[in-house]
Amino acid sequence: MSILKNYIIFFTLLLLFACNQKKEEVNTDAVSTNDSLKSEFSNIKSISETLSPEAKAKTVNWEDYHQLDRLLTDFYTISPKEALNLSKELATTTTRLKDSLPIEEFKRPDVMIRINVLNNYALRLADMASIPSITDTEVDQEIQHLLDSYSALNAKINNIAHQEKIERELSDFEDSLTPLKEGSVKGDIVNKTLPEPLKH
């Protein structure tokens, strides 16, 4: 009986020890999965300013802008390695954007400065692709600078389009008041009574 009792105790301890070891392996796997998810989601960048409906209408024929917009959409969730792989295409696109601006209203210094800044960040990212010692953090920071400069360009385009819309509405409002003004001036002249002549 004591041998059977010893076997039962031995197998119970063995079973408990095996379960504890298995539990530790499961926890280690869970931690490594969480770390990989954390690093994957840490590459998500903040969404920048997008074009308003008025600004979209103004840029409808600006093909280089739309190509840049499609390319930058990937950069909000891109990994540093993928960003470096796309950096040359991005630099080429921003250079074309800078050199061929078809919209006359945007050919002004405040817009050109923003396009130049965007182009400089794209060129810097392309340069980073040739540096072997570059870190993921540095690439992520450069991507964020790039997206911020794109947001600034969109904000300026929105501002210009909004200002033009307000000027159009103001002009339309003034035009709608013109007939009323002319009618009231004529009415004033007609309705004015002449003073009575002086009696001697």
Q: Where are the domains of the chain?
A: 53-175
pLDDT of amino acid 192 = 56
Residues of the chain with pLDDT under 50: 24, 26, 30-42
pLDDT digits over 99-147, tens only? 989 999 999 999 999 999 999 999 999 999 999 999 999 999 999 999 9
Predicted TM-score (pTM) of this structure: 0.67
Dihedral angle of Cα 87, 90, 92, 95, to the nearest 10 degrees: -120
Q: Give the pLDDT of residue 54.
A: 94
Specify the pLDDT at position 3.
Answer: 73
pLDDT of 173? 85
Per-residue pLDDT at 42: 47
- CA–CA dist 28, 34 (Å, integer): 10
Distance between CA atoms of residues 106 and 156, nearest Å: 9
